[in-house]
Amino acid sequence: MLIRRADSLLLIIDIQQKLAPAIHDNERVTANSVRLLEGARQLGIPAFVSEQYVKGLGPSLDAIRTAAVDARFFEKTHFSCAAEPGVVDLLRAAKRPQVLLTGTETHVCVLQTAFGLLAAGFEVYLVADAASSRTPENRSAAIERMRAGGIQIVTTEMVLFEWLHQAGTADFRQLLPLIK
């Protein structure tokens, strides 16, 4: 089950100002999510960014907002993006069956979104090095549960190289700074 550029979309979940400082390894999560947003933009892959209860948790981090220039933002109050009215239809409208997930918290919003999208018929991939929780234990338990439940576990570089499919192309040269 390789990730295919023409069939995938990117969903960044709740990397927000008031939550991020409490997240284990939040700088790596943010940096890898930014790399994926930039890769998606350069390759024409649709990207979406959720924000959980902005009034309480603040907007997305500035780094996410800057990288998400072409992304579609939406606010939610449900933990699962898939449970938020209209979101599954929004993602389906992109006509891409593969959803790549990053964000926080892995054991709450990311996990519930992953299973909700899987139930809605999407192929779901968790980008593990771009997702975390307040504790490493919650992150690990969530990844184990998602893997057991049929969610594909991948890394940022797996995604970038599978989107590219081959070296020696203009796209490869363009994305090389994101890989180095």
Residue located via tokens 């929004």:
90
Q: H/E element holding 27? A: helix 26-43
Q: Catalytic: which of 14, 81, 129, 171?
A: 14
Beta pairing, strands 123-132 & 152-154: parallel
Assess whether 81 carries a catalytic annotation: no
Radius of gyration in angstroms for the set of CA atoms belonging to the chain, rounded to a whole number: 15
Amino acid at site 40: A
Structure tokens at 166: 């081959």
Q: Catalytic: which of 25, 81, 109, 129?
A: 109
* DSSP secondary structure, 139-159, as one string: HHHHHHHHHHTTPEEE-HHHH
Structure tokens at 26: 């939040």
Residue 8 near residue 140 (C-beta atoms within 8 A):
no
Q: Catalytic: which of 18, 25, 70, 76?
A: 76
Assess whether 109 carries a catalytic annotation: yes
Query: Annotated catalytic sites, by residue?
Result: 14, 76, 109
